[in-house]
């Protein structure tokens, strides 16, 4: 028999050990695995007719904190480094342009999603009950899965090929500093 505690555990997204940041490209890959876990939970919210507060809280926290940090890691650190190091035949500019467009579109989409999910949470209502929110959740899942697949298939392999040891070290330090400044804003 499934216990309530099992159900709540099933609504978690695994954390990545902070030490992995020393290997920043492995870190990105692990983060993308967490994004896939997020997509699974968002899909559950879109399709389930049962109110699942644990799942809702996990998704809201991830969209509010984890996802924006990841986008900053890419937009402010990984992508600029790649632009500097990629060879012309990598055709990286076109890919990075598409991914940056995705990030821009996500800002509005995620803002809408968060407002809808928070309202559903406050009312104790399954988000699937509202057709507009349900469609937005499923749209987010489809776009996010495509986005992560593109980054894993193209961006990370090119980064492994082109970034230099010093680049990786700088990347690692900048990502760690970003998390320290979020934890201690002063
Ligand atoms: Fe991204
Ligand atoms: Fe990413």
For ligand 1, the distance from its centroid to the CA atom of residue 49, given in whole angstroms, is 30
For ligand 2, the distance from its centroid to the CA atom of residue 80, given in whole angstroms, is 14
For ligand 2, the distance from its centroid to the CA atom of residue 106, given in whole angstroms, is 12
pLDDT of residue 22: 92
Using the predicted structure, report yes or no on whether residue 6 has a pLDDT greater than 70. Answer: no
For residue range 37-59, list pLDDT tens digits in order.
999 999 999 999 999 999 999 99
Using the predicted structure, report yes or no on whether residue 121 has a pLDDT greater than 90. Answer: yes
For ligand 2, the distance from its centroid to the CA atom of residue 117, given in whole angstroms, is 23
For residue range 84-115, list pLDDT tens digits in order.
999 999 999 999 999 999 999 998 999 999 99
For ligand 2, the distance from its centroid to the CA atom of residue 48, given in whole angstroms, is 27
Residue recorded with tokens 């070290």: 169
For ligand 1, the distance from its centroid to the CA atom of residue 147, given in whole angstroms, is 6
pLDDT of residue 11: 86
Domain locations in the chain as residue ranges: 24-183
Q: In CATH, what class is 24-183?
A: mainly alpha
For ligand 1, the distance from its centroid to the CA atom of residue 67, given in whole angstroms, is 9
d(CA 127, CA 140): 14
Output the pTM of the full model: 0.91
pLDDT of residue 186: 63
């Amino acid at each position: 028999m499934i216990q309530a505690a099992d159900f709540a555990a099933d609504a978690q997204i695994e954390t990545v050990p902070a030490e992995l940041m020393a290997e920043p490209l492995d870190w990105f890959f692990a983060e993308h695995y967490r994004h896939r876990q997020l997509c699974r939970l968002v899909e559950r919210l879109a399709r389930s007719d049962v109110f699942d507060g644990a799942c809702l809280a996990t998704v809201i926290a991830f969209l509010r904190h984890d996802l924006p940090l990841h986008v900053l890691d890419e937009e402010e650190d990984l992508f600029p480094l790649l632009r500097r190091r990629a060879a012309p035949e990598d055709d990286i500019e076109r890919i990075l342009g598409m991914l940056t467009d995705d990030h821009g579109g996500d800002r509005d989409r995620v803002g809408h999603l968060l407002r809808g999910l928070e309202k559903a949470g406050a009312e104790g209502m399954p988000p699937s009950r509202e057709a507009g929110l349900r469609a937005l959740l499923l749209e987010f899942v489809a776009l996010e899965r495509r986005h992560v697949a593109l980054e894993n298939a193209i961006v990370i392999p090119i980064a492994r090929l082109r970034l230099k040891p010093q680049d990786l070290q700088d990347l690692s330090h900048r990502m760690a500093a970003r998390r320290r400044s979020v934890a201690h804003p002063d």
